Amino acid sequence: MNRVVIIEDEKPAARRLQRMLAKENILVSTMLHSVAEAVAWFKQHSPPDLIFADIQLSDGTSFDIFEQVPVQSAIIFTTAYDQYAIRAFKLNSIDYLLKPIKQDDLHFALNKYYNNKNKKVDIQQLISSLKNDKTYKKRFGVQYGAHLQSIPVEEIAYFYSQDKTTWLVTDSGEEFMYDQSLEKVEKQLNPEDFFRINRQFILSSKAIKDIVQYTNSRLKIILQPNAQTDVIVARERVKNFKNWLGL
């Protein structure tokens, strides 16, 4: 095997996988940590023999990379909890590794790669399968005191995290504590309707009242209902955010 590339936004996880591959006598030639970095790299280099690609990256997904830059390489995807993606991978005969990756599972996936080197991955078919397979949450259950309430997703303006607590904000300005991390919430929302602009906020498009140019090529969002803190689109997410809004 000549060239192996890891696409993983968490650098400790990338280094861990690199060490595990070394135990299989495989040297990693390149490690990429974002959609933008990977797209730029693939445009300038020939495709590697094998790619290990995390699904969810800080500025998008690994599928965003392959939609922009067609890559004729064997791909082994890694995922923390995307059960819907795992079903799609099986449907399309694509290898995957469930995090935290185990050495035995890595060894098995590599054996599948060695036995199917000539098999090409149909990325477009995979993406289509993912879109058809995913079911998004339609209602979010919240509790306040002794009361329970079910809130339709159509009535949610945004989610935000503060002091390790997730809050759900409705169109009318009501706020409810929600007992899941933003990472888990993000997976349950339709990406056509909601966008995670930074580590703290996931917005509905209808909650955006105004967009203002901000420092360091970032954007400031004025929300309706108003947020109690500045809402800034992270610089590495600005491009995807604009695309999401059709700007």
Backbone angles phi, psi at 151, to 5 degrees: -110, 120
- Give the pLDDT mean for 34-55: 92
Q: What is the pLDDT of residues 145-160, one digit of tens each?
A: 888 999 999 999 999 9
Judge contact between 200 and 160, C-beta under 8 A: yes
Give the whole-angstrom CA distance, residue 75 versus residue 113.
Answer: 9
pLDDT band of residue 61 (cuts 50, 70, 90) is confident
- Do residues 199 and 127 share a domain? no
Number of domains in the chain: 2
Give the whole-angstrom CA distance, residue 78 versus residue 95.
Answer: 9
Does residue 85 have a pLDDT over 80?
A: no
List of E strands, 90-184: 95-98, 139-144, 147-152, 156-162, 165-170, 175-178
Instruction: Give the residue from 133, 155, 174 where a domain finishes.
Output: 133
- Do residues 102 and 211 share a domain? no
Structure tokens at 57: 């990256």
- Average pLDDT score over the chain: 87
Tell me the CA distances in angstroms from 174 to 143, 154, 170, 208, 225, one per residue in order: 13, 14, 5, 17, 9
- Do residues 62 and 151 share a domain? no
User: Domain range for residue 87?
Assistant: 4-133
Give the whole-angstrom CA distance, residue 174 versus residue 140.
Answer: 14
Record the pTM: 0.56
Kindly tell me the burial class for residue 207, based on how many C-beta atoms sit within 10 Å of its own C-beta (0-12, 13-18, 19 or more). buried
Q: Which amino acid is at 236?
A: E
Which residue has tokens 């080197």? 117
- Do residues 116 and 59 share a domain? yes
Cα 65 to chain centroid distance, Å, stands at: 12
- Do residues 58 and 23 share a domain? yes
- Do residues 205 and 148 share a domain? yes
Model pLDDT, residue 71: 82
Q: What is the pLDDT of residues 167-212, one digit of tens each?
A: 999 999 999 999 999 988 998 898 889 999 999 999 999 999 999 9
**CATH number for the domain harbouring residue 234:** 2.40.50.1020
pLDDT-wise least confident of 35-49, 104-118, 201-215, 224-238: 104-118
Model pLDDT, residue 121: 63
Instruction: Give the residue from 133, 159, 192 where a domain finishes.
Output: 133
Does residue 231 have a pLDDT over 80?
A: yes
Instruction: Give the residue from 117, 133, 149 where a domain finishes.
Output: 133
The fraction of the chain above a pLDDT of 90, given in percent, is 55
Beta partners for 149? 142
Give the whole-angstrom CA distance, residue 104 versus residue 137.
Answer: 34
- Do residues 58 and 92 share a domain? yes
pLDDT-wise least confident of 11-20, 60-69, 79-88, 155-164: 79-88
Q: What is the pLDDT of residues 89-143, one digit of tens each?
A: 655 546 788 888 999 999 999 998 888 776 666 666 666 665 555 668 899 999 8
Does residue 40 have a pLDDT over 90?
A: yes
Give the whole-angstrom CA distance, residue 28 versus residue 18.
Answer: 6
pLDDT band of residue 83 (cuts 50, 70, 90) is low
**CATH number for the domain harbouring residue 39:** 3.40.50.2300
Backbone angles phi, psi at 18, to 5 degrees: -60, -45
